[in-house]
Chains A and B, each alone.
Chain A
Amino acid sequence: MTDRTPASPLDPDRVDRVLAPFAADGGRLGVVVEDLDGTAIGGSAAAGDRVTRDIASNGGTVARLVATGPAAGEPAVSAALDALAIGLGELAEVSTRIPPSELALGRLHQRSIVSLRAPEVPGYDLASHYEAAREIGGDFFELFRLRRRRRTIGVVIADVTGKGIAAGLMMAFARPVIHAALDAAPGPAVALERTNRILVEELHTRLFITALVGSLDAGSGRLRVANAGHEPPLLVPGDGRPVLNVTCGGLLLGAFTSLGLDETEVQLAPGDLLLLYTDGVTDAADASGERFGEPRLYATLDATRGRSAHEVVAAIRDEVAAFRGAVEPTDDVTIVAVGRHS
């Protein structure tokens, strides 16, 4: 590693994470962020035409978004680049107020295609698994410490409907927007409302996003969640009670002008585990077309009671893979577990 002092407020690690979906696109579209001197901060380029957008933050241009490759000039990509530049600008604005050390906490999850990091939180065990389908998919998730509220952990899991470049770009856009909104908002419901407004009013997309967003106060174990059309989280109580579906729900992002979401509060006691997942888990199909379904997920959670979040995530991953057999996954699979051990 060379010692880079970023000339822009965009952290190379974050940019790589945001742009990671495009690395899988087989050379049709490369997306790179460059600083104002033209030095690449992150992303990966493809051969071909160059299309650029300014990334503005706090009223000035802080970096440039550069798309390359045969797809770079397509009208759909053009609109998406506008959106991505907005998203990166939001991220830059947040980044200027957070010390870089807080942006890259924790350890790398090796199995992930999109490299994802979870913060180390004393008393908790945070684990995740992300597995992309062959096409660019739309799942994403994040676990991060909230700005100025270091004891509060932001939890995000989301699924962009649809497939291909458009879904990948939407995900790359929505991820920093949700992150920034959760950092800035008083709670998850407001964060989702703000994200939806940006999607509907500024972005004009026809893709939807289901998103489950929470803020966990690490000290008390109090978790506030708001749910925009996503699978509700499952709580595995440490005291042996049955697996609980945390009832919460509401309109998905991108389809309605306002959401009016409620927040649900969950108390995580030592020994409890909260599971978040995308429909790639329950909709995984075997050769006969049968779905993995919720009963198998509940059974797996029951069978792994008392184990660490990493072990629970690994068990679900393995159960889904064994169920699917040789059938190629058609949807991303994302599993996130938040275990409280003390």
Chain B
Amino acid sequence: MALQTTVERVEARVPVTVVALDGELDASTYEHLIDDVRGLYQDGARKVVLDLSGLTYMASSGLIALHSIVQVMHGEQPPDLEGGWSAFHALGNAAEGGKQEDVLLAGAQPGVTRVLERTGLDQLFSSYPDRASAIAAA
């Protein structure tokens, strides 16, 4: 099942890049998503809202994508995807550093929210019910 990404740049209090995901985020699509966001960062994006309202399914490999996207937006180069064993620094716990604010989530469907909560990755992200509220908070 494919994943389609649509990018939109919005002028809020700061420039916000909204990436809307439509389809399924799984082992066959997560690497493309990381590449897409890396490109956006290189083009100057510094605040990203991931609009998940069209994301119908997220496999555990989607977690790698979300984690890597945070790293990319921190200006870190995520390790080689093919190998996947290069050095990387674990992100601190939410309790230690609070949620990061470079990447916000919007409109996640219940199934996606469940995966995030089950694995604790929800602790990394501020989540908003929809795109507009996420942009307003960015």
Contact = CB atoms under 8 A, between A and B. Distances in A.
Nearest to A204: B87
A200 B90 contact: yes
Contacts of A330: 26-28
A10 interface: no
Interface residues of B, number: 35
Contacts of A256: 90-93, 120
B90 A252 contact: no
A251 B123 contact: yes
Given A206-B68, A257-B90, A159 B60 contact: yes
Contacts of B90: 200, 254-257
Contacts of A80: 83, 85
A83 B84 CA distance: 13
A208 B64 contact: yes
Nearest to B59: A283
A229 B120 contact: yes
Interface stretch (B3-11, B44-52, B74-82, B100-108): B74-82
Given A330-B26, A330-B27, A210 B60 contact: yes
A298 to B, nearest CB: 15
Contact of A76 (B67, B68, B84): B84
Given A210-B119, A229-B118, A79 B59 contact: no
A283 to B, nearest CB: 6
B38 to A, nearest CB: 14
A251 B119 contact: yes
Contacts of B123: 251
A166 B93 contact: no
Interface of B: 1, 26-28, 57, 59-61, 63-64, 67-68, 78-80, 82-93, 95-96, 117-121, 123
The 10 A-B pairs at the shortest CB distance, nearest first, are namely A76-B83, A251-B120, A229-B119, A166-B84, A79-B85, A252-B119, A204-B87, A161-B60, A200-B90, A206-B88
